[in-house]
Amino acid sequence: MNTAASAPQFKRKKLLTRPILKFIKDIPVYIRCEGAIYLGKEMKQQQGEKKKEPAHLADVIDLSTGEVAQIIVNAVPMSVLKENYPEDSYVGKCFAITRQSRKEGKAYDPFNVEEIEDPSPSEKKGETQTISKGDVGEMPASILNKGSKK
Fold of 17-43+52-119: OB fold (Dihydrolipoamide Acetyltransferase, E2P) (2.40.50)
pLDDT in tens, the chain (150 residues): 555 566 678 888 887 889 999 999 999 999 999 999 999 988 777 777 887 889 999 999 999 999 999 999 999 999 999 999 999 999 999 999 999 988 888 888 899 999 999 987 665 544 555 545 554 455 445 444 445 444
The model's pLDDT over 6-35, given as tens digits with 9 standing for 90+, comes to 667 888 888 788 999 999 999 999 999 999
Domain ranges of the chain: 17-43+52-119
- The SS3 assignment for 100 reads coil
Q: How far is CA 8 from CA 11, 23, 71, 78, 125, in A?
A: 10, 34, 30, 41, 37
